[in-house]
Amino acid sequence: MRLLVIEDETRIAAAIKRALELHNYAVDTVGDADGGLAAAIDPDYDLIILDRMLPGSMDGAVVCRKVRAADVHTPILMLTARGEVDDKVAGLQAGADDYVVKPFSMKELVVRVQVLLRRPPLSLGTVIKLADLEVNIERFEVKRAGQDIVLSAREFKLLTYLIYNRGQTLSKDKIISHVWDGDALILPNTVEVYIGYLRKKIDKAFPGKVPLIQTVRGFGYRLGSSD
Ligand code: CA
């Protein structure tokens, strides 16, 4: 998985990068708000660590708000200064998923990252809608055009991953790393098989409706209601 760290204090950024790389995450760092925003809307990142105070034309909370305004729901972990309660509130209101107060231990940071990577993005809410598809991530319920759809646990996990990242093309490798936790025994062919199961239940069962699962030949899959 690939993580983005937006932090201007190079010593802290380097320490975070080192700690996360030890846990097998790929990490890119950016040291200012504008460069950070440009990188953050790249769908390739699985999580963003965002410092509240940054050089550039905006602060971390504004970066966060702009990322969400671009309909990007990548989990964001905000770094805030000690005791600045307003900072935490501003960060969460801007659409961050969690925050860590400086100074923090790398151990704590890694745990927060692991938790966030397993949790649905807060910014999407409990019931996620795409066209006439509705996914209730707390009650494990899926509906299309008001009709209940029964999915296996793995199909549900695959669908939630696709809907969290709707509109983005997701490679089979990326899907394996999220939906099968990177299990080395899972082959790309398994992803095709499960996409086939989902397609049958979500698209083929509704012949009059726009297909939502799109194959992007040579790249992967995308969930969306249009091109
Ligand atoms: Ca800073």
Residue 209 in contact with residue 144, Cβ under 8 Å? Answer: yes
Most confident among 4-13, 96-105, 125-134, 165-174 (mean pLDDT): 4-13
Please check the confidence at residue 77 and state whether its pLDDT lies above 70.
yes
pLDDT of residue 121: 82
Q: How far is the CA of 54 from the centre of ligand 1 (A)?
A: 5
Domain boundaries, the chain: 2-118, 127-223
pLDDT of residue 184: 83
Q: How far is the CA of 15 from the centre of ligand 1 (A)?
A: 14
Helix (H, G, I), strand (E, B) or coil at 17: helix
pLDDT above 90 covers a percentage of the chain that reads 74
pLDDT of residue 98: 93
Q: How far is the CA of 36 from the centre of ligand 1 (A)?
A: 12
Query: CA 202, CA 134: separation in Å to the nearest integer?
Result: 11
Per-residue pLDDT, averaged over 109-130, amounts to 89
Q: How far is the CA of 128 from the centre of ligand 1 (A)?
A: 33
Q: How far is the CA of 12 from the centre of ligand 1 (A)?
A: 9
Q: How far is the CA of 48 from the centre of ligand 1 (A)?
A: 15
Q: Which CATH superfamily is domain 2-118 in?
A: Response regulator (3.40.50.2300)
Q: How far is the CA of 44 from the centre of ligand 1 (A)?
A: 24
pLDDT of residue 227: 55
Q: At CA 169, angle to CA 167 and CA 175, rounded to 5?
A: 115
- Model confidence over 158-202: pLDDT tens digits? 999 999 888 889 999 989 988 998 788 899 999 999 999 999 999
Residue type, 189: N
pLDDT of residue 1: 84
Query: CA 175, CA 222: separation in Å to the nearest integer?
Result: 11
Q: How far is the CA of 204 from the centre of ligand 1 (A)?
A: 50
- Model confidence over 2-30: pLDDT tens digits? 999 999 999 999 999 999 999 989 999 99
Query: CA 36, CA 189: separation in Å to the nearest integer?
Result: 35
Q: What is the CATH number of domain 127-223?
A: 1.10.10.10
CATH fold match for the domains 2-118 and 127-223:
no
Mean pLDDT of the chain: 92
pLDDT above 70 covers a percentage of the chain that reads 98
Strands 127-130 vs 220-223: parallel, antiparallel or unpaired:
unpaired
